[in-house]
Chains A and B, each alone.
Chain A
């Protein structure tokens, strides 16, 4: 694969089957991105709100190490497991949840040929893996044996049915447009025009559904602090709480990557110094995904949250209609011969 002859441990890591799950977009970069995006979220919000935000941990970098410090604090604080919870679910639920939320990254290719699972339905695999996690979340909420947790979990369940349909429909609209379910082919097809310009309706529907799915404002309904404390994660403390918090951001990370690949042209266009194959085009994906995530977290400082009934109504009335319109647009584009 690589033109350079590297010593075997390095070449092993550079193999896509290892690199993608472990380094990028897998664990290592995921962890760093989470720390970065939490910091970015706090900083952006603080700037809009006319204050400083995190400042003192790693002062020269504007407090960038604050999430790290918080993480260390979380891990070393006491892990409390309430007496009346279902202990098995309570402990393993968050871990399972985290695993399921990180699983979809294995389907994400970094460049033509550089992918962990070479499949012509990789888009479906990613989407299928993305929508498993909410079921585990419901289980965790139930296992906590707390009314607030239960309400939070149920809210997430309600929302799940409202965002999954638009996500899948808008993805289908794009698949119809590119005539493929392979993420590599989809990304390559966008070498000229990005998907967001071809079918902005699908992009809008997907983006909004993505906000619901990841619990970002204005759809931060399942964890609404002033209403139900912390929703499904109310009873959690210490490292397990950190895992829960990480889950929400991981989902955002995964969805942002999917959005980049399907709508923002993936690794296209490549600057001159990047080769068109191997893992380096992944940098382009990372940059775009970070921008998407930045936009998603910026909305925190602009919107209040919807009520759960309003969230579900938006999912079914607006986003469903929008994604159906997106499919119609795709079909029109293909049938009229404008595209494809």
Chain B
């Protein structure tokens, strides 16, 4: 990764706009990482370009952190529509709320798992089945 940007969560949107102006046009991946010992959830955006041949080989990693007890962040799906479903998925699995990209119901989890966040480290995988 040639370029890693560590930013505060409230500047995410302006950073995204700057990157878009530079020629980065899509989000390849959005990763949420739970860090319970620090009380944080880290969000890692991998942003790259399709159209600009010079930027194609490069991926910008944008890292930001939100408070684990109040995980709210601005959605950048208006700047990069490509990360809309990734944001919804992160919301389902880690409980991060993306303001500006809200849907009433879970995207990939069943209704029963609403308000449980399987990708947080304190989630215990229920044992079931054979034996």
Chain A–chain B contact at Cβ < 8 A? no
B residues adjacent to A (C-beta < 8 A): none
A residues adjacent to B (C-beta < 8 A): none
